[in-house]
């Protein structure tokens, strides 16, 4: 007894143009915000440590002050800093946080505008193949 069976196989693949470019743009903007977030956190820690009058001789406090001093140098003496004993409220550091936030936003938007490519139509390719199988019993 002979049995003829036809088997059809359909394969569909999709090609999304410039997908890698969009992934790069997304990762680049995420990197900008990550670096900005780290800088903001360090400046906020500095403000908090200055406000509570932390010991500048402590290694962690000295490290945070040392790193942030580089970024706060342009803002030194811009605004007066009220103090009481060892406690200091660095208003210039708060202003620096605002300015660095604006700079990060401008950099992120610039990266987005330069590198982002809008999603175009997805190109789908469909292949159909037919084969015959003969089964004998």
Q: Of the candidates 108, 71, 109, which has an alpha carbon nearest to the alpha carbon of residue 90?
A: 71
- Asked if the model's pLDDT at residue 16 lies above 90, the reply is no
- pLDDT for position 101: 96
CA 94 to chain centre: 23
Residue linked to tokens 């700079």: 103
Better-predicted residue by pLDDT, 1 or 97 = 97
pLDDT at 44: 97
pTM to 2 decimal places: 0.71
Q: What is the mean pLDDT of residues 52-69?
A: 94
Q: What are phi and psi of 58, to 5 degrees?
A: -65, 135
> What are the b/e assignments for 108-117, b being 16+ CB within 10 Å?
beebeeeebe
Q: What distance in Å separates the CA atoms of residue 73 and residue 76, rounded to the nearest whole number?
A: 5
Where are the extended beta strands (E) located within the chain?
2-15, 83-84, 87-88, 123-136
């Amino acid at each position: 007894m002979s049995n003829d069976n036809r088997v059809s196989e359909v394969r569909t693949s999709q090609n999304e143009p410039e997908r890698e470019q969009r992934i790069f743009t997304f990762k680049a903007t995420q990197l900008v915000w990550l670096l900005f977030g780290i800088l903001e956190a360090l400046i906020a820690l500095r403000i908090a440590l200055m406000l509570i009058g932390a010991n500048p001789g402590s290694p962690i406090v000295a490290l945070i002050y040392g790193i942030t001093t580089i970024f706060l140098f342009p803002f030194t003496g811009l605004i007066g800093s009220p103090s009481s004993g060892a406690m200091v409220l660095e208003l210039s550091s708060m202003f620096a946080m605002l300015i660095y936030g604006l700079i990060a936003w401008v950099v992120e938007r610039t990266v987005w505008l330069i590198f982002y490519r809008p999603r175009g139509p997805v190109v789908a390719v469909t292949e159909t193949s037919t084969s015959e199988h003969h089964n004998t019993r």
